Amino acid sequence: MNWEAKIITHKKEKRIAVYFEKNAVLITRIKKLEGSRWSQTLGVWHLPDTVENRERFHLVPLSHSLPSEEGVEQIQKFIKWLSSKRYSPSTIKTYSEALKSFLVFYREKAVAEITNEDVVTYNNDHILKNNLSESYQNQIVNAIKLFFTTIRETKIEIAKIHRPKCAKVLPNVLSKEEVKLILNAHSNIKHKTMLSLIYSCGLRRSELIHLKITDIDSNRNIVIIRQSKGKKDRIAPLSTKILEMLRQYYSIYKPKIWLFEGQNGMEQYSDHSLQSVLKQALVKAKISKPVTLHWLRHSYATHLLESGTDLRYIQELLGHNSSKTTEIYTHVSTKSIQQIKSPFDDL
């Protein structure tokens, strides 16, 4: 099968575009890769620009994509340490891949000889040179700091490893009218219920997919979100409208274990299918904004704040560790700003 891959910038983000003649087998394979998307405007499938994906599509020579034997051994030890500390599989994968990228860069150097100056050089000659994101650089820093705390013989001074100065980006928020259009776009009760539950409870995409039937407590009007980000359980209130919608959905689909099951039954609804449900709703609602499922969670938090809900309760409902994370919604709430009179009106 003939295909070609190259690094592109799409919507201000580095992506790996994969070009090939229409082929059902390749399309099926790419759909299964995490973060894969189809761009209608570019007419190409594209994926996140990660070390793993670069290796998968041969964008770097194989000899340049592997750390030294010592590096491989250290990564395995690091993975075992993270596992023993009960880090989630996704965090272990993220940290080990980030560390691998760093140790590949220094595959000719003994790990014990790596210094803080080497971290600075890596940031300049790899991260910045390849226009990799601030968030990716931050992942690398997290991995390096955590890894070197587990190494006894090292020249690295953990406290002196600096983080990138990240841009302060405001969350994207929809108006209540836009949310209503999206939630009412689908006539399919299953699709409508999934999107409505995300907004009405401020759920993350993965939290919705991992909900079980037993997590809905209709007697107390709550939903229990188990082992979400940071391995924390939390509860969120269920409105009577959502409960009625859930009962209607259940009577038709009768799921067995997961609240929302895939077409094969007994399996969780797929991440890709859930994103497709939103995309279809946007088309039907004639909303051209690049809305993601997380926009619904942001909108939930902002609308709660605008209706007078205390920030501390919003923090609990969203499952944020720090109040600083929740405080960002005060910068997108328009309730107070709309009351300010522009001096232009007095001219």
What average pLDDT score do residues 313-318 get? 90
Count of alpha carbons within 13 Å of 213, Cβ hemisphere only?
A: 13
Q: Is the pLDDT of residue 304 over 80?
A: yes
Overall fold of domain 176-331: hpI Integrase; Chain A (1.10.443)
What average pLDDT score do residues 76-94 get? 90
Q: Give the pLDDT of residue 200.
A: 94
Rounded CA gap, 195 and 193, in Å? 6
Main-chain dihedrals φ then ψ at residue 164, nearest 5 degrees: -70, 150
Average pLDDT of every residue of the chain: 86
| Residues carrying an active site annotation | 204, 229, 294, 297, 320, 329
Binned at pLDDT 50, 70 and 90, residue 2 comes out as low
Contact status, residue 224 vs residue 306, Cβ threshold 8 Å:
no
What are the C-alpha distances in Å from 157 to residues 69, 105, 294, 320?
Answer: 24, 19, 37, 30
The string of pLDDT tens digits covering residues 62-79 is 445 678 889 999 999 999
What average pLDDT score do residues 156-183 get? 86
Q: Which of these ranges, 82-86, 108-112, 227-231, 262-266, has the smallest mean pLDDT?
A: 227-231
Segments of the chain assigned to CATH 1.10.443.10:
176-331
CATH class (in words) of the domain with range 66-160: mainly alpha
Segments of the chain assigned to CATH 1.10.150.130:
66-160
Main-chain dihedrals φ then ψ at residue 200, nearest 5 degrees: -70, -20
Count of alpha carbons within 13 Å of 152, Cβ hemisphere only?
A: 0
Q: Give the pLDDT of residue 116.
A: 92
Q: Give the pLDDT of residue 63.
A: 43
Buried b (16+ CB within 10 A) or exposed e, 218-246: eeeeebebeebbeeeebbbebeeebeebb
The string of pLDDT tens digits covering residues 233-253 is 899 999 999 999 999 999 999
Q: Give the pLDDT of residue 203.
A: 94
